[in-house]
């Protein structure tokens, strides 16, 4: 009998984590790799949050927590949703999980049946497709391009809907393109969705605060979308807390209760110390972490400026998150230093081996013409990395 399940055998390894592992391996061989592949702020968790965690340890928070999160944390999340997004949720609509990633896995686990279709505007975050497939869903990719700033139009959404469509999943600001949907663009999508009341939206807003033009909009803000939207958020990105593993949802109560039930059989809830620290993080004004966003903006402008000078990197201007997603198809079919580049994966590997810079192939995000470069790195590293890339492709 086969050792491993078909489910896991059919699942792709996370390309971002795979690239990070390869970069680590090369570093182990003594190579000076600049890592621009991971989606992780390079800042430390702010002191006021660390102090709250230390206090929680000293206060003996060491027992299992309620499966869906401490009541005080749910209150902080409710306050945050109201303050930052104009969204009103009751405690029974909130579930705290081990990162936004688990929120997404919970949602897929409780909502998808075999063959249900999930619309994913491309490029999408690397794990969406595999989380959907693992739960029996069928990803339906909607291709977007740099011409529409990698955003799906209402007409494209309408055309992708079939009687089997169960959900739409998207992130804004988007990982990997950095695109931010305006309120008007979300309204146009909502106008299509309200004609299909059986379709639910997963609005992944984990990069909400990393927005350089301001004015974050949540699709659940529209009254006619509220009951059909699951808003996903977390602290990994805005508070530089990736390893603390806390994410949360605001959802229709039935869905939240089902996530609670699933989580109760799988993790029993998120880490207690991290939950206590996040109460403090969310109760603070987002202005407390503005210094990180200001620095990301400086780096975004820097990397765009530097890439402008590299042949064959056609890049949109990302309004949020901390990635650029250049179209590098200019190099397809070309041979560089004896290596033929046939696709984005070849190109990304070429940059790793020849420029010693780790990026991620766009294929992992459903766009085979692009690569993702994270600028969650110091300005010196960004300058050096783009210099090396320029040399490697010239």
Number of Cβ within 10 Å of residue 13's Cβ equals 10
**Segment lying near ligand PLP (by CB under 6 A), choices 52-60, 93-101, 250-258, 282-290:** 93-101
Is 121 a binding residue for ligand PLP by CB under 6 A? The answer is no
Report the residue from 135, 177, 218, 236 that binds ligand PLP according to the rule CB under 6 A.
Answer: 236
Is 101 a binding residue for ligand PLP by CB under 6 A? The answer is yes
Judged by CB under 6 A, the number of residues near ligand PLP is: 13
Query: Which residues have C-beta within 8 Å of that of residue 40, sequence separation ≥ 6?
Result: 236, 242, 374, 376
Burial of 188 (0-12, 13-18, 19+ CB in 10 A): middle
Q: How far apart are CA 103 and CA 261, in angstroms?
A: 13
Task: Identify which of residues 18 and 392 has a Cβ nearer to ligand PLP in the complex.
Answer: 18
Task: Identify which of residues 123 and 326 has a Cβ nearer to ligand PLP in the complex.
Answer: 123
In b/e form, how buried is each residue of 280-297, taking b as 16+ CB within 10 angstroms?
bbbebebeebeebbebbb
- Least CB distance to ligand PLP at residue 379 (A): 22
**Segment lying near ligand PLP (by CB under 6 A), choices 29-37, 159-167, 190-198, 234-242:** 234-242
Is 242 a binding residue for ligand PLP by CB under 6 A? The answer is yes
Closest CA to 199 of 133, 111, 130: 111
Q: Give whole-number Cα distances, 220 to 11, 86, 224, in Å.
A: 31, 9, 8
- Least CB distance to ligand PLP at residue 84 (A): 17
Torsion of CA 307, 308, 309, 314, to 10 degrees: 80
Report the residue from 121, 247, 362, 366 that binds ligand PLP according to the rule CB under 6 A.
Answer: 247
**Segment lying near ligand PLP (by CB under 6 A), choices 73-81, 96-104, 286-294, 310-318:** 96-104
**Segment lying near ligand PLP (by CB under 6 A), choices 5-13, 97-105, 210-218, 264-272:** 97-105
Pairing assessment for the beta strands 247-250 and 229-234 based on DSSP bridges = antiparallel
Binders of ligand PLP in range 47-76 (CB under 6 A)? none
Closest CA to 323 of 155, 179, 149, 132: 179
Is 348 a binding residue for ligand PLP by CB under 6 A? The answer is no
Binding-residue pattern over the window 189 to 208 for ligand PLP, x denoting contact by CB under 6 A: ---------------x-x--
Contact yes or no for 46/289 (Cβ under 8 A): yes
What the block records as the tokens of 137 is 């869903």
Q: Give whole-number Cα distances, 104 to 169, 170, 186, 296, 393, in Å.
A: 9, 11, 20, 26, 38
**Segment lying near ligand PLP (by CB under 6 A), choices 95-103, 156-164, 265-273, 327-335:** 95-103
Is 325 a binding residue for ligand PLP by CB under 6 A? The answer is no
- Least CB distance to ligand PLP at residue 283 (A): 19
Binding-residue pattern over the window 156 to 175 for ligand PLP, x denoting contact by CB under 6 A: ---------------x---x
- Least CB distance to ligand PLP at residue 236 (A): 3
**Segment lying near ligand PLP (by CB under 6 A), choices 45-53, 94-102, 267-275, 340-348:** 94-102
* Bond before 240 cis per omega within 30 degrees: no
* Binding interface with ligand PLP (CB under 6 A): 39, 99-101, 125, 171, 175, 204, 206, 234, 236, 242, 247
């Amino acid at each position: 009998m086969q050792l491993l399940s078909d489910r896991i055998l059919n699942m792709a390894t996370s390309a971002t984590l795979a690239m990070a592992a390869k970069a680590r391996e090369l570093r182990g061989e003594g190579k000076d790799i600049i890592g621009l592949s991971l989606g992780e702020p390079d800042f430390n968790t702010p002191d006021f949050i660390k102090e709250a965690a230390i206090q929680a340890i000293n206060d003996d928070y060491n027992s299992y927590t309620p499966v869906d999160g401490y009541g005080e944390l749910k209150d902080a999340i409710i306050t945050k949703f109201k303050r930052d997004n104009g969204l009103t949720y009751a405690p029974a609509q909130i579930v705290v999980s081990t990162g936004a990633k688990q929120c997404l896995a919970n949602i897929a686990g409780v909502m998808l049946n075999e063959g249900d279709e999930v619309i994913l505007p491309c490029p999408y975050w690397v794990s969406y497709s595999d989380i959907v497939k693992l739960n029996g869903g069928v990803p339906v990719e909607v291709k977007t391009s740099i011409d529409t700033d990698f955003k799906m139009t209402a007409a494209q959404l309408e055309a992708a809907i079939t009687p089997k469509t169960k959900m739409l999943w998207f992130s804004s600001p988007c990982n990997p393109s950095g695109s931010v949907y305006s309120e008007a663009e979300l309204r146009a999508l909502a106008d299509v969705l309200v004609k299909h009341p059986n379709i639910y939206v997963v609005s992944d807003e984990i990069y909400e605060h990393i927005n350089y033009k301001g004015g974050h909009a949540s699709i659940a803000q529209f009254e006619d979308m509220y009951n059909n939207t699951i808003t996903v958020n977390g602290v990994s990105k805005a508070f530089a807390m990736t390893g603390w593993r806390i994410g949360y949802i605001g959802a229709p109560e039935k869905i939240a209760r089902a996530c609670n039930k699933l989580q109760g059989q799988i993790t029993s809830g998120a880490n207690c110390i991290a939950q206590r620290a996040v109460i403090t993080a969310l109760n603070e004004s987002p202005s407390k972490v503005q210094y990180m966003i200001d620095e990301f903006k400086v780096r975004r402008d820097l990397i765009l400026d530097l890439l402008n000078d590299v042949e064959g990197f056609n890049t949109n201007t990302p309004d949020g998150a901390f990635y650029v997603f250049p179209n590098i198809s200019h190099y397809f079919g070309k041979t560089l230093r004896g290596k033929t580049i046939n696709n984005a994966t070849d190109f990304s590997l070429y940059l790793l081996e020849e420029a010693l810079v780790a990026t991620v192939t766009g294929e992992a995000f459903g766009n085979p013409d692009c690569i993702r470069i994270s600028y969650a790195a110091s300005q010196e590293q960004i300058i050096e990395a783009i210099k090396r890339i320029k040399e490697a492709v010239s």
